[in-house]
Amino acid sequence: MNRTMVRSIRAHLMAASIVATGIDAVVVVLMFVFGVDESTFETTGFRIAVVAAIVIATALTRLFALVAYRLALRERGSDAIKGEARHVHPGCRFRALVSLHLCFAGATTNRGAAERRFI
């Protein structure tokens, strides 16, 4: 696997894990606050619904990031530097989503050493 593919897979897995953590938090609240029985969450139907929710939420996140990237290109908030590296202008309104789109696409961003973290 090349580096671009690894970056893209890593971004997708990170988004999916954040969604899964949110679903897990909702399940815990439902169990302890509303008294829903634990066996409700062990059914095959629930597991299929959770997998579908994770896939849909990850796809929607990718779509929102793509829309933000296109808006940033239109407003000159993101410029191509060289090769697959990109620069996101610090004043860009959608900077986090544009950086996320670049991660989904497997591109690298030119960020300072203090900002070398996943958004």
Stretches in the chain below the pLDDT threshold 50: 77, 80-83, 112-119
Residue 29 to residue 46: CA distance in whole angstroms: 16
Question: Is the four-CA dihedral 30, 31, 37, 41 of positive or negative sign?
Answer: positive
Is the C-alpha dihedral spanning 12, 14, 16, 19 positive or negative? Answer: negative
For residue 28, what are the contacts with CB-CB under 8 A and spacing of at least 6? none
The candidate with the shortest Cα–Cα distance to 77, out of 112, 119, 104, 86, is 86
Residue 102's beta-bridge partner residues? none
pTM over 0.85: no
- pLDDT, tens digit, for every residue of 56-65? 999 999 999 9
Helix residue spans in the chain (DSSP H):
3-32, 44-74, 95-105
Q: How confident is the model over 26-44, as pLDDT tens digits?
A: 999 999 999 999 999 999 9
Average pLDDT score over the chain: 83
The number of residues in the chain equals 119
